[in-house]
């Protein structure tokens, strides 16, 4: 089983969107279905236990995807279980790199948008406190990275 973790600040907007969108793409891919576990977390505990943001949930609901989610903070133990950690931005990337360096297992840590050839090295826009159109843009950025993520997972 390949373990993938999406990481953002609060685990209510970007990382749950990415988690569910990748989960759906994996389920539709015969080469990967049943071989990858996708999760998400935040570097902060300020939203721990909360559901995903209402705009994130609305966009997933429109696609017929799950909206059940409980925010969690990344821990050294959770980081140590991962094969691939995909961070929304450089701040979360630094945090993940620190956790991985301190752990036993050495997960690959990258920015989510590194898997979009047109946006490698760029951060995923943070839609928090913006209108739903900002969430739609974030979904587009995630969806542009998914083919590259799938390719990376198939190569494992």
Catalytic residue positions?
8, 14, 126
Q: Would you call 131 exposed, middle or buried from its count of C-beta atoms within 10 A (0-12, 13-18, 19+)?
A: exposed
CA distance 112 to 7: 9
Supply 149's token pair.
Answer: 């993520």
E strand or H helix at 122:
none
Please state at what angle helix 14-27 crosses helix 132-154, rounded to 10 degrees.
50
Q: Would you call 91 exposed, middle or buried from its count of C-beta atoms within 10 A (0-12, 13-18, 19+)?
A: middle
Phi, psi of 53, rounded to the nearest 5 degrees: -60, 145
């Amino acid at each position: 089983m390949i373990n993938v973790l999406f990481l953002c600040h609060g685990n209510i907007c970007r990382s749950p969107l990415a988690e569910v969108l990748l989960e759906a793409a994996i389920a539709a891919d015969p080469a990967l279905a049943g071989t990858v576990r996708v999760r998400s977390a935040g570097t902060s505990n300020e939203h721990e236990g909360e559901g995903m943001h209402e705009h994130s949930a609305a966009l997933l609901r429109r696609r017929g995807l799950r909206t059940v989610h409980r925010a969690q903070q990344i821990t050294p133990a959770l980081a140590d279980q991962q094969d691939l950690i995909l961070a929304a931005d450089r701040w979360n990337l630094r945090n993940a790199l620190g956790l991985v360096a301190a752990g036993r297992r050495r997960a690959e840590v990258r920015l989510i948008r590194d898997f979009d050839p047109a946006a490698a090295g760029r951060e995923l826009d943070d839609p928090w406190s913006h209108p739903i159109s900002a969430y739609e843009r974030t979904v587009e950025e995630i969806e542009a990275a998914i083919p590259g993520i799938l390719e990376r997972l198939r190569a494992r």
